[in-house]
Chains A and B, each alone.
Chain A
């Protein structure tokens, strides 16, 4: 099962690469730089998905005390931080030629970087508490409060300032991009979601084995 998921993920990633570099056309104004979107946008999707999973697993853990839920939350947070990092890095690489700067305190850059440090803190908390059960409880509380904080961060930062181009995919009245680019993007969305699932399952398994080895 795991092996199958792994193979499908690899196939999906290859298909995503083919779509991004082979099938999708060169964007007219931005040129090839635009192709980084096929990595950037799915990454941020995976990051948000991962943090949503952390929230759900944290609640489940506090209610049911199932260690599996805690391990899933832990694994998901790690993968989420990883993909938040990828989002920031790719966005930065894209921003340099397009905006002329590596970094700017634009609304969405700020939001994502706040999420990044918030969930880094989550992992730090987990690392610092020796008692496994207590660490799981505290991390679950933090996972819940961090998730509820995301909309607050979102709005505060939007009102604070904005420079990022408005979202071009989810706009009401249809996406503002040619179909072929959209298909390429969706293939990558699917591939990255599979990759996320694969990472989390593998990582949660390692965490479970570690717990068993300790016990």
Chain B
């Protein structure tokens, strides 16, 4: 993991591109929906998570690109000891990357849509953290599965999006409530669902990663 983060910090390749991508997404949303502020405000939670998941698809899909391009895949496969350590490391790296991207996207949204986030920030942080763990946990697993497939750019989102459907529903609904200034208690059922999803996804990921990285 430290190696991945180090490479990322040195090159800033993914981060820069994803930042630019997020900015472009914002423009596209604005163009698609027109300048009507009220309509934009109503769709904001959905747009926000659409932005998160689209940049997540790009970022997570690249999890194992370095290994594949530099012919280190065998190194991963042959690594001694528990493969789940590799999974946890990759997951932590992806989490960090996505959280940085999401923070930047959130700031951009606040800037362009004239949002006052100060009050909603703690609640929003909880929702985003829970949702991001669920996204990254499945994303990291699927990225490893699709890394060796020819049409991986296509297969990765096609596999990930349906599985993440409940996470998306939960995060969008919870974000909506938090942005309206409601207390977190009012969306406790969504938060519990997200927490359950986090536990299930990470557990399945840790337990099955061994089988994904077999020779």
Contacts and interface: CB of A to CB of B under 8 A. Distances in A.
Contact of B145 (A62, A117, A125): A125
B101 interface: no
B106 interface: no
A155 interface: yes
Given A125-B159, A145-B141, A137 B200 contact: no
Contacts of B98: none
Given A128-B155, A156-B169, A156-B170, A148 B200 contact: yes
Contacts of B167: 152, 156
Interface in B133-192: 138, 141, 145-146, 148-151, 155, 158-159, 161-163, 165-167, 169-170, 173, 189-190
A157 B169 contact: yes
B208 interface: yes
Interface residues of B, number: 32
A134 B148 contact: yes
Contacts of B204: 141, 144-145, 148
B41 interface: no
A121 B141 contact: no
Interface residues of A, number: 27
B166 A156 contact: yes
Contacts of A129: 149
Contacts of A160: 169, 173
A153 interface: yes
A88 to B, nearest CB: 14
Contacts of B163: 118, 121, 145-146, 149
Main secondary structure of the interface of B (DSSP, over half): helix
Contacts of B173: 159-160
A77 interface: no
Interface centre among B145, B151, B161, B189 (most CB of A within 10 A): B145
A169 B169 CA distance: 28
Given A138-B212, A141-B211, A121 B162 contact: yes
A128 B208 contact: no
A157 B201 contact: no
Interface string B108-130: 00000000000000000000000
B150 A114 contact: no
B162 A156 contact: no
A160 B146 CA distance: 31
Interface of A: 62, 114, 117-118, 121, 124-125, 128-129, 134, 137-138, 140-142, 144-146, 148-149, 152-153, 155-157, 159-160
Given A124-B155, A141-B208, 15 more contacts: A121-B158, A121-B163, A124-B158, A125-B149, A125-B159, A137-B214, A138-B212, A144-B204, A145-B208, A152-B200, A156-B165, A157-B166, A157-B169, A159-B173, A160-B169
